[in-house]
Amino acid sequence: MRSDILKIKYHLMVAIAAAGMFSQPSLARDIAFSQDTTPIVHGEQSLVTSDQMLDISTSNSSALRMEGEQLIRVNKIDKAVSVLAKSVEMSPADMDGRILYAEALEKKLAQQTTKNPQLYNLAIKQWLYIAKRGDYMDQKVQGLKHLSNICGSKPRMLETEDRFLARVLKPEDQQVAEGRAKAGTENY
């Protein structure tokens, strides 16, 4: 009796394994599909760059974050800012994406000779968010370090976020010079 049950189980497992082999696509078709690049080749038959390949389909926030990180590496800061902004909009709780976004904003700010106050304020707000709500201690310390580098100040011990922002943010019509307001303008 026991041997009959074992034989039935054995034949059942063989049948399931055989059905699995027949349901898989053929290897030749997979190779042909993976080597067919005609849809992603330009009219002049030149290869697609990695930058263009990422533009084809980036539908989730982690893919956008990786694209933004790559754009930062190749020093395409303006495009990185827009891609990472979209990533942060799609997944606001993703602290790694927000850190990359804040770094891109800071690099864009560093490239400007006369600093854009809107960009300055946005970078300050992003780093403050990271410093206050980072998932890990190293993220919070990184946020405080960048706040100190950009505006020359960190939030004080019992200072609220609103008071800190009122103290360090610049009016939209005022230009920012190297972490401080230009000479002759009042500092809030």
**pLDDT tens digits, 128-156:** 999 999 999 999 999 999 999 999 999 99
Burial of 187 (0-12, 13-18, 19+ CB in 10 A): exposed
- Judge contact between 50 and 67, C-beta under 8 A: no
Return the percentage of the chain with pLDDT > 90, whole number: 46
- Contact (CB, 8 A) for 187 and 181: yes
Mean pLDDT of 103-132: 92
CA-angle at 50, arms to 49 and 56, nearest 5°: 95
pTM (2 d.p.):
0.63
Beta carbons within 8 Å of 50's beta carbon, 6+ residues apart: 70
Higher pLDDT, 180 or 102: 102
> Who has greater pLDDT, 89 or 23?
89
What pLDDT, in 10s, does the model give residues 7-63? Answer: 676 666 666 655 555 444 444 444 343 333 434 433 445 555 555 555 545 578 889
Task: Decide if pLDDT at 185 tops 80.
Answer: no
What tokens does 175 get? 């230009």
Give the residue carrying structure tokens 């026991």: 2
For residue 86, the tally of other CB atoms under 10 A from its CB is: 18
Q: What percent of the chain has pLDDT over 70?
A: 62
Residue linked to tokens 């960190």 = 154
Which is nearest to 101 in space by CA: 68, 129, 128? 68
DSSP character for 57? -
Give yes or no for residue 90 having a pLDDT over 70.
Answer: yes
What pLDDT, on the 0 to 100 scale, is given for residue 37? 40
pLDDT value, residue 102: 94
**Biggest CA-to-CA distance, the chain:** 99
Q: What is the DSSP string of 158-176?
A: T--HHHHHHHH---TTS-E
Q: What is the mean pLDDT of the chain?
A: 76
- pLDDT tier, 99 (very low <50, low <70, confident <90, very high otherwise): very high
Name the CATH superfamily, with its identifier, for domain 49-181. Answer: Tetratricopeptide repeat domain (1.25.40.10)
For residues 47 and 70, the model is more confident at 70
Please tell me the total number of residues recorded for the chain in this structure: 188
pLDDT of residue 8: 74
CB atoms within 10 A of CB 19: 9
Alpha-carbon gap, residue 4 to 57, rounded angstroms: 55
